[in-house]
Amino acid sequence: MAPLRTVTFDFWGTLYQNASGEEARLDVLAEALARYGYQPSRERMRAAHSAAWQVFQRAWLEERRSLTTQDWIGAMLAFLEAKLPQDVRAALCRPLEDVFLSSKGDTPVPVEGVCAVLPRLARHYRLGLISDVGLTPGRVLTELLRRDGLLACFGALTFSDDTGITKPTPEVFLRTLERLGACPAEAAHIGDLPETDVAGARAVGMRAILFLGVSNRTDGRALASAAFERYEELEALLASLP
């Protein structure tokens, strides 16, 4: 392996605590449905959300592609046996996507230690972000990074809603490294999911580091080059990698 010069990160469960925004999004959709005479119970709405999320999961984990907010709306309406005009569906996309930028949704927060450690890492390594997204698109995640003073740390941001493909597809890792002017042998990827972050990084020849502080997916330790639980451990860990 070449000396480590480049580090890429996952977003959810790695840099930021996981957040769903489910209740805020159900509020947005319920308001639109009510205007057209539909008033499903909250329980029914949550069941629809679960069914729509399964559609997302299949596309993400089995087909390696990123679905759109329009896809989610379609899956919700199909489950609820409801119809909305196409222009109304299109107009719903932005408020559904922006719940974390509004007072309606809980605000995602960085994992403890991230805001202190990342600026220091950026002085020694080229940093990139490789994130699969659901209903929160890359433009919103970019704004969260900007809000928390982290955006300037990154030389490249890769989001699945921009590429149309998800991890562990090799292209998303290689494309990010190309933008950073790096090769896999001198790079490491840090993420919380063994099946996407660790497997994807190793498949292209990167070091794969498993973050256990949020998801605690200890089943990925054997496949990873290293693992850590707290961000205060990360600088020493990176320095010790062969």
The answer to whether position 124 is within a domain reads: yes
**Pairing between strand 226-228 and 156-159?**
unpaired
Distance CA 146, CA 40 (A): 38
Three-state SS at 89:
helix
Q: Of the ranges 23-27, 44-48, 65-69, 161-165, which one carries the lowest mean pLDDT score? A: 65-69
Assess whether 132 and 224 both reside in one domain: yes
- Helix then strand then coil, in percent of the chain rounded to 5, is 50, 15, 35
Assess whether 47 and 158 both reside in one domain: no
Q: Grade residue 3 by pLDDT with cuts at 50, 70 and 90.
A: very high
Structural contact between residues 135 and 97, judged by C-beta atoms closer than 8 angstroms: yes
Q: Biggest alpha carbon distance in the chain? A: 63
The answer to whether position 90 is within a domain reads: yes
Assess whether 11 and 131 both reside in one domain: yes
What is the domain count for the chain? 2
Q: What is the pLDDT of residues 184-202, one digit of tens each?
A: 999 999 999 999 999 999 9
**Assign residue 166 a region: left if phi > 0, alpha if psi is -120 to 50, beta otherwise?**
beta
Q: What is the pLDDT of residues 173-183, one digit of tens each?
A: 999 999 999 99
E strands, the chain, in order: 6-9, 126-131, 156-159, 187-191, 207-211, 226-228
Q: Which pLDDT score, from 0 to 100, does residue 118 have?
A: 98
Structural domain including 67 reads: 22-101
Residues 6+ apart with CB under 8 A from 7: 121, 125, 126, 127, 128, 187, 188, 189, 190, 238
Q: What is the pLDDT of residues 203-235, one digit of tens each?
A: 999 999 999 999 999 999 999 999 999 999 999
The answer to whether position 200 is within a domain reads: yes
The answer to whether position 176 is within a domain reads: yes
Cα angle value 15/21/23 (rounded, 5°): 160
Assess whether 143 and 32 both reside in one domain: no
pTM here is 0.93
Assess whether 189 and 81 both reside in one domain: no
The answer to whether position 77 is within a domain reads: yes
What DSSP designation does 233 have?
A: G
The answer to whether position 106 is within a domain reads: no
Assess whether 121 and 235 both reside in one domain: yes
The answer to whether position 116 is within a domain reads: yes
Assess whether 121 and 67 both reside in one domain: no
Q: What is the pLDDT of residues 82-122, one digit of tens each?
A: 999 999 999 999 999 999 998 665 789 999 999 999 999 99
The answer to whether position 1 is within a domain reads: no
Assess whether 86 and 184 both reside in one domain: no
